Structure 1
C-alpha cells in the first residue's frame, strides 16, 4: 500500500506529519503482529521532486514530483494556510494529476482548503463535499455544482473523501486503520495519539468503523440510538421510530453502517466509555452503570475485546500522557 502526501508552499505541516505518524505506527504494529507482509509506504511529493517549505518555515524532503502520485494507491491532499485561490492558478499540473487519479478510481483524500483543488478540476461536481468552515460561503459561490455539506465533518463519494479539518482527517485515518487491520490496532493508535485525535460520536453521514452513507432513515435511527445509550431496546421499537419494517431496517442499517443496530449500539456505548475514562473520574462500576451494563465484569470483558486492555489500564495509559498544572 503506497500512500502519497502532497506538499505545497502553504501546506499545513500537521496535515502531513500527524496522519503519517499515525499510519506509520499502525503499519509497524500490523507488521510485528504478522497481519501484513510489509509496512505501508508513506511518501511526500512536491512540484520539483526535491523538497518543499511548508507553513512554520519547515522544509519537507520529497520522494518525488507530482507524476509520482500516479504510482500511489491512495493520495492525501492536506489543508493549506490562508486563501487557497492563488495556489490554484500556479499549480494547474497538480489538478491534472488529481483528475487522472480520480479517473483511475484511486482513493483521494482532501482536507480543509485542499478540497479546492478537487473542486477546481470539476471532480466534485454533483458530488457531496465539505471544506473548512471559514470558506463555506466562498466555496459554495465559486463551485455551485458541488453538493456542499456544511454540517458534515467528512464526506465520501466515488472514492473521494473530503475532511473539514486536520482533526477530521485523523478521524478518517483511524477509520482506515480499522478497515485495513483490526480494532486492536486502531485502539492502540488512538491511545498513543489520544490528545491529538478528536473523535466524535455524532457524525451523521460518517461513523468510525462503519460505511459512508446518505440514508436519511438510518441517520435518524443512529441519532435515536445515540440518545439512549443506557436503555435497552428492541429492533421493532427502533423500526417504528423511523417508519420501517424490522426486516427493511435491519437490511438498510447493515448496508449503511456495516453492523446490525444492536452491534452499532454496543460500539457507541463502548466509545462513550472510552470518553468517560479519559475525561472523568468516574469509577469503572459507575461508568458501567451509566451505560446500562448491569454486570461490571461483562462490561470489562467487552471493553477489553474492543480496546485490547481493561478499562482501568486504558485510563492509566491515557492519564499518563496528560499534562498537569
Structure 2
C-alpha cells in the first residue's frame, strides 16, 4: 500500500456524525488558505476517513519519515458513561497504539482520549478530556498526567482535546504540527474558530452529572425554591423527609459532595443562569442567590467557575 493520507480519521461507531465531515471541511479550508490566500504557500493536506480499525494498519510515517496524523473523534458516549463502552473498542485500542508505535501523531478528543490511554499512550504524558469524564479517567489511568482545566494539550506525539465539539481545535493543532502553526492560525481566523481556550472550569456544571438521581433532583429543586434564603443542612434534609445524617450520607454517595458544597453549587449554577440570560447587575444576582455580600459572592463564584461574575457575563451573557 502507498503512503497514507496526511490525516487519517478513525470514525468509530458511536461518534458524532458531524465530526469526520467537519475535519474534511477544515482541511478543504486549509488547502484554500494554504494555496497562497494567506500570503504563504503550504503543501496541500490530504485526509482519509476510515471506519474499521483494521484499515489504519498503514498509518505511521510517510516514506520521507514525516509522521501521519491519526485523528480519533469522541466515540464512546452512551448516557455519559464511558468506561462500560471501552471493551467493544478493543480492536481500535490496539490499532491506535500500533499506529503510534509506527511513528504516527495521534490526536483524540473527548471520550476517545480513553482509547488512547487504554493503549498506554497517556502513560507519563500530559493529557486532557472532557470535564464530565475526568474523574473516571483519573481513576482508570493513574500513570497519565491529567490537565483538568485545559481545552487542548500537546505532549510529544499525542494531542488531546476536551469536549465532543473540540474536534476543530484538534484538527487545527494537527495542521500546526504537520505544516505550520501560522497556517493553523490563518485557518482559524478564516473559519472563525475561537481559539481562546476558555478553561473547562467555566463549563463544569455538577447538575449535569447524575441529574436524574431522584434525591439530587429533589434536593436541587428544594434549594432553588428557597432562594434567596439559603436553607440550612438540617432544614434541607427535613424538607426531603430525611434525617440530617442520612441525607449527608446519601448525598456523598450520589453526588460525591457534602451538603454545603452541594448547596453552593446549586446557588452558583443559578447565578450563572442569571448572568447568561438577564441584564441584572452582579450585586442583584448575588442577592438573588442568597449572598448578602457581593464580595463573598465574587470570591465563591471565582472558586467554582474560574473567572469573575463580570467576566462571565461579558463572555456568556446575552449580547442583546
Secondary structure of 2:195's counterpart equals coil
- Call closer, same or farther: CA 1:120–1:152 in 2, change over 3 Å: same
Secondary structure of 1:123's counterpart equals coil
- Call closer, same or farther: CA 1:128–1:188 in 2, change over 3 Å: closer
- The alignment's TM-score, normalised by the length of structure 1, stands at 0.50
Report the counterpart of residue 47 of structure 1 in structure 2.
52
1:220-235 superposed matches below 5 A: none
Report the counterpart of residue 170 of structure 1 in structure 2.
168
CA distance in 1, matches of 2:85, 2:198: 34
Which one of 41, 48, 57 corresponds to residue 35 of structure 1? 41
Per-residue CA deviations over 1:1-40 (Å, capped at 9, x if unaligned) read 6210011110112332223211221113323668245x32
Which one of 189, 195, 198 corresponds to residue 194 of structure 2? 198
Secondary structure of 1:91's counterpart equals helix
Per-residue CA deviations over 1:262-321 (Å, capped at 9, x if unaligned) read xxxxxxxxxxxxxxxxxxxxxxxxxxxxxxxxxxxxxxxxxxxxxxxxxxxxxxxxxxxx
C-alpha displacement of 1:186: 4.5
CA distance in 1, matches of 2:159, 2:185: 22
Query: Aligned Cα RMSD in Å?
Result: 3.1
CA distance in 2, matches of 1:181, 1:161: 16
- Call closer, same or farther: CA 1:17–1:166 in 2, change over 3 Å: farther
- Call closer, same or farther: CA 1:189–1:156 in 2, change over 3 Å: closer
Report the counterpart of residue 100 of structure 2 in structure 1.
102
C-alpha displacement of 1:168: 3.8
C-alpha displacement of 1:66: 3.5
CA distance in 1, matches of 2:108, 2:85: 15
* Number of residue pairs aligned between Structure 1 and Structure 2: 187
CA distance in 1, matches of 2:176, 2:135: 34
| Structure 2, gaps ≥5 residues long | 63-67, 200-318
Per-residue CA deviations over 1:196-224 (Å, capped at 9, x if unaligned) read x3321667xxxxxxxxxxxxxxxxxxxxx
C-alpha displacement of 1:188: 5.1
C-alpha displacement of 1:123: 1.4
- Call closer, same or farther: CA 1:192–1:131 in 2, change over 3 Å: same
| Structure 1, gaps ≥5 residues long | 50-64, 204-323
Give yes or no for contact 1:130–1:163 (8 Å, CA) kept in 2.
yes
C-alpha displacement of 1:89: 1.1
Does 2:15 correspond to 1:11? yes
Give yes or no for contact 2:128–2:161 (8 Å, CA) kept in 1.
yes
- Call closer, same or farther: CA 1:187–1:93 in 2, change over 3 Å: closer
CA distance in 1, matches of 2:111, 2:143: 17
Report the counterpart of residue 56 of structure 2 in structure 1.
66
CA distance in 2, matches of 1:97, 1:120: 11
C-alpha displacement of 1:176: 4.6
- Call closer, same or farther: CA 1:152–1:9 in 2, change over 3 Å: same
Which one of 108, 114, 117 corresponds to residue 115 of structure 2? 117
CA distance in 2, matches of 1:93, 1:134: 25
1:281-320 superposed matches below 5 A: none
- Call closer, same or farther: CA 1:130–1:182 in 2, change over 3 Å: closer
